[in-house]
Structure 1
Amino acid sequence: LAAGLGAHVRAVLSVGLPSAVQMAVVNLSYALVTGMLNRYGVDVAAAAGVGLQISTIAGLPCWAIGQAITTAAAQCAGAGELARARDVARLGARLNIGVTLGIQVLIQLLAPAIVGLYGLAQGTSFDIAVLYLRITCSVNGLFYAAMYSFDSFALGAGSPRLVLANSLIDAFAVRFGLAFLLSGALGFGYVGIFVAQAASPVIPALIGGAYLRHWTRSHGVERGK
């Protein structure tokens, strides 16, 4: 009984610990980036705070679809329905990208009005907040939707370490590392930080797509079935 319980605990921790570290990594990277933005003064800090709140709300549907992908993929894989698990990942990613595209288009069209709802008066902070949305809620959102969908599938398929590795790339290698490079060494200032945030999901999305293809081939799931 004790041995069986220990095996279950190890199985839970093998998934739970990487997931916990992933969340810590993401939140730490945002804290570091926020600290970098605070150096540019009150206007930039206020604008980035509003922009981050809006982009967080915009990301809620993406996260909800990702959780559904994790649950459905895990159930299908556990039942031996590997082709169905693959289809969950593909259809889920398409749905996520489609929904995210619609949200991003609305944000691009209504950015000034949305920022105005947060109480920022016309001026420097207002303009910077709109710029934040123009940069961080654009085409990059499609890569974020793909990244989150593929990572959600990987988590359901039993590869939490891949998800953790992708989070490290997204959070530190690109979001923080590129922000440090663009804002400092290359002299783009806070705009460079915005660009780094926008670019952060691109590489992880490509890695996630490659993982899905590898998983499909390695598990002998035939194309189209």
Structure 2
Amino acid sequence: MPTLGANILQSLNGSINTIWVGRFLGEGAVAATANANTIMFLMFAAVFGFGMAATILIGQSIGRRDIEGARRAFGASIGLVMGAAVVIAALGWIFTPEILKVLATPSSAMPLALAYLRVIFLGLPATMLLVLLGMALRGVGDSITPLWFTVLSVLLDSGLNPVFIRGWFGMPTMGIAGSATATLISAHVAVLGLLAYIYLRDLPIRLRGHELTWLIPSPALIRTIVAKGLPMGAQMLVVSFAALTMTGLVNRYGVDTTAAYGVSMQLWGYIQMPALAVGAAVSSMVAQNIGAGLWDRVDRITRSGLLFSALLTSTMVVAVILFDRPVMAVFLGGGSPALPIARHIQVLASWNFIVFGMTMVLFSAVRANGAVWAPLVMLIIAMYPVRLGFALAFKDSLGADSLWWSFPLGSVATLVMSSLYYRYGGWRKQRLVVPAETPASTAAAPAEAAAAEPIGAQHPVG
């Protein structure tokens, strides 16, 4: 529930910002932010897999009561991911015009997208660090702390958006760049606050003294994180490139269709929130129980995850379809030509997230034991030959509808493949551990850490 709350707040923040942009700057600005947000998802995908790999290592280490192993995995993830985030942010800022041209961004939206995306790139390292800290805390069973700092970030971002867009209270009038500036400021304030809180409360993932050297990970730990992180990052890259291709196809139908697609993605963010929250819970719980050797719980956790994901996502789909018109009118205005297009998209494509949510639960369970290549192959098949193949094959006969129907078709294909792999695949036979720094510490660390720092008693899992 705290993870779901954080997801709701993050999606609400994006929706509020889109409302400010749409109402103050028009459909072209909404189209610009839709293109920019797709690119940022790609940037996150490039480094997110390493954070996921470290989170799984942290969860399994906590299950074994190996606190040192959890901290070394955390330090390594920070060192690897933040180094990559800084490089990607710099390259992204430089090559923003070329990236937008590849996407076939409408000419009317190009200047807005350029101004918005360049500022967003500047905030990428802070935003990525905030995500990593939240993932690590959930890996040790603390989902409450990330929620509170998400609240802080959302309040700042949504509150500062109109201030910088319109130049209120003596601030400069920055237009769409003001929306990105609000995001940049809120990310930095939230991540600095969370870091301070972690050290003031002496939370399990804090690094002190010689532990700070773990920010430069050992070669063995780099190999472990990269071996698992690259396929997981590649999974997000597969989704991202498919989304970029889809955005390029949508852009060819004009600004109104692009704006409608952007608003639809805002609503889809809410629909998929329960699935992502349940998947995060399943991943942490399965990793901790695998680490503790309690395999009988793994199938029970997964079954419960499938049930709750299906029920919660179905409720969200029904609610969105029933009330989509008044909600979308908030973004675009009641007379916008993009409104009927957006409503049509919702009717055709929204239900695919029920299937998507169940797939995420199965993927979360198998990845918690380091099984990362099979989900990658499944996503490649579902996104390209199935989803994009259908969209391109039927674009002449179905027009834009071929794009919207391709979403549920790809999701059904992924669910079928993931169900078969969960039932018959060999993912249970794998073993994932944090490589020890020295042979001596390998045997001593778990017992000494458990005696010195009874993490299970201080921070209940849940």
Interval containing the TM-score (normalised by the shorter chain): 0.7 to 0.9
Cα deviation, residue 117, structure 1: 1.9
* Cross-structure match for 2:358: 146
Cα distance change of structure 1 residues 43 and 169 upon mapping to structure 2, 3 Å threshold: same
Distance in 1 (alpha carbons) for counterparts of 2:295 and 2:225: 22
Distance in 2 (alpha carbons) for counterparts of 1:95 and 1:110: 23
Cα distance change of structure 1 residues 106 and 216 upon mapping to structure 2, 3 Å threshold: farther
Instruction: Tell me the alpha carbon deviations over residues 133-189 of structure 1, each in whole angstroms, 9 at most, x when there is no partner.
Output: 111112x222111111111111112211112112212322222221111214xx211
2:274 maps to 1:61: yes
Distance in 1 (alpha carbons) for counterparts of 2:282 and 2:369: 10
Cα distance change of structure 1 residues 159 and 217 upon mapping to structure 2, 3 Å threshold: closer
* Cross-structure match for 1:197: 407
* Cross-structure match for 1:46: 259
2:396 maps to 1:174: no
Instruction: Tell me the alpha carbon deviations over residues 32-79 of structure 1, each in whole angstroms, 9 at most, x when there is no partner.
Output: 011111111222111111111211232122112111111111111222
Distance in 1 (alpha carbons) for counterparts of 2:318 and 2:273: 16
Distance in 2 (alpha carbons) for counterparts of 1:118 and 1:62: 24
Instruction: Tell me the alpha carbon deviations over residues 96-135 of structure 1, each in whole angstroms, 9 at most, x when there is no partner.
Output: 1111011011011112122112124335411110011111
* Cross-structure match for 2:416: 206
Cα deviation, residue 204, structure 1: 0.9
Distance in 1 (alpha carbons) for counterparts of 2:391 and 2:220: 42
Correspondence for 2:228 among 7, 15, 21: 15
Cα deviation, residue 91, structure 1: 0.8
Distance in 2 (alpha carbons) for counterparts of 1:28 and 1:113: 32
Q: How does 1:12-161 map to 2 (within 5 A)?
A: 12-122=225-335, 124-138=337-351, 140-161=352-373
Distance in 2 (alpha carbons) for counterparts of 1:155 and 1:206: 17
Q: TM-score, normalised by structure 2?
A: 0.44
2:375 maps to 1:163: yes
Q: Is the 8 A contact 1:86 1:216 kept in 2?
A: no
Q: Is the 8 A contact 2:275 2:358 kept in 1?
A: no
Gaps of 5+ in 2: 1-217, 430-462
Distance in 2 (alpha carbons) for counterparts of 1:204 and 1:198: 10
Distance in 1 (alpha carbons) for counterparts of 2:375 and 2:348: 25
How large is the Cα RMSD of the aligned pairs? 2.0
Structure number with larger C-alpha Rg: 2
Gaps of 5+ in 1: 220-225
Distance in 2 (alpha carbons) for counterparts of 1:41 and 1:165: 33
Cα deviation, residue 218, structure 1: 6.9
* Cross-structure match for 2:21: none
* Cross-structure match for 1:222: none
> How high is the sequence identity, in percent, across the aligned residues?
25
Distance in 1 (alpha carbons) for counterparts of 2:427 and 2:399: 44
